Amino acid sequence: MGDDAKRAAGRAAVGELRDGMTIGLGTGSTVAHFLEALAESGLQVRGIPTSDATDAHARTLGLQVLSPDDVDRLDLTVDGADELTPGLSLTKGGGGALLREKVVATMSDHLVVVATPDKVVDQLGRTFPLPVEVIPFARGPVARTLVGRGYDVVERDGRTDNGNLILDATHPDGISDPVAESAALDRIPGIAEHGLFIDLATVALLGDDDGGVERRTAVR
Ligand code: 5RP
């Protein structure tokens, strides 16, 4: 699906907002459309960006930007995804912002996903590798641990906004039990965060190339 579908989804997310809200600003090309529509809407909303790129874009558009130190809770976050299941479990991190994205999502009462229908999958990890953010010191041990868990591991070029590296981890069978896998990855020292977002998303807005948007809520 093309950029028109992403634009439809991103712009529709403005309909989830109310004046005075404090929100999380996700990262990616679909969220970029949301930011532009938010700026055009004139809504009085303050936001915490989840990446340096989103921070710069939001400031350019004249949006009010906060840091996580400034607030206890967020009304909602609008963010993209790389894969989503009907229960709205996600893989995220294609844009490398997964660590800040998860911090902000867990501060939020709701996570609104903006995406396209081709990203809906029955099983996570089959169409997109799982991004794992790792502190540089732990690259070797974490990579070996992931290989031991059955993943093929490829290190991404560059560093994240947090100075870490990303290992893209592909399992030949996909991720059959995302809850258990998420918990297991949480316990590996040196992993700063991984791209499994479980029980966080509450709404998905799926845009299509004709400008239509399907609104889905989590089936759990
Ligand atoms: C960044 C992300 C993005 O939200 C995800 O990769 C989707 O991006 P796009 O909207 O460009 O398809 O997780 O870390």
pLDDT, one tens digit for every residue, the chain (220 residues): 899 999 999 999 999 999 999 999 999 999 999 999 999 999 999 999 999 999 999 999 999 999 999 999 999 999 999 999 999 999 999 999 999 999 999 999 999 999 999 999 999 999 999 999 999 999 999 999 999 999 999 999 999 999 999 999 999 999 999 999 999 999 999 999 999 999 999 999 999 999 999 999 986 6
Contact 114, 13 (CB under 8 A): yes
Amino acid 1: pLDDT = 84
Is 181 catalytic? The answer is no
Q: Where are the alpha helices (DSSP H) in 83-177?
A: 98-106, 139-148
Cα–Cα dist 179/203, whole Å: 19
CB neighbours of 99 closer than 8 A, spacing ≥ 6? 133, 160, 162, 164, 192, 193
From ligand 1's centre to the CA of 141, what distance in Å? 27
From ligand 1's centre to the CA of 91, what distance in Å? 9
**Mutational pocket test of ligand 1: of 1, 3, 82, the residue with most ligand atoms within 8 Å of the beta carbon:** 82
48 lines ligand 1 (CB under 6 A): no
Residue 197 forms beta bridges with which residues?
Answer: 90
Amino acid 77: pLDDT = 98
Cα–Cα dist 33/115, whole Å: 11
Q: Which tokens go with 178?
A: 């995302």
Report pLDDT digits (tens) over 196-220.
999 999 999 999 999 999 999 986 6
112 lines ligand 1 (CB under 6 A): no
Amino acid 218: pLDDT = 85
What DSSP element (H or E) covers 153?
A: strand 152-155
First CA to last CA distance, the chain: 27
Global pTM value? 0.97
Grouping H, G, I as helix, E, B as strand and the rest as coil, residue 112 is strand
Determine the atom of ligand 1 nearest the C-alpha atom of 98: 14
Report pLDDT digits (tens) over 157-174.
999 999 999 999 999 999
**Mutational pocket test of ligand 1: of 4, 84, 92, 100, the residue with most ligand atoms within 8 Å of the beta carbon:** 92
24 lines ligand 1 (CB under 6 A): no
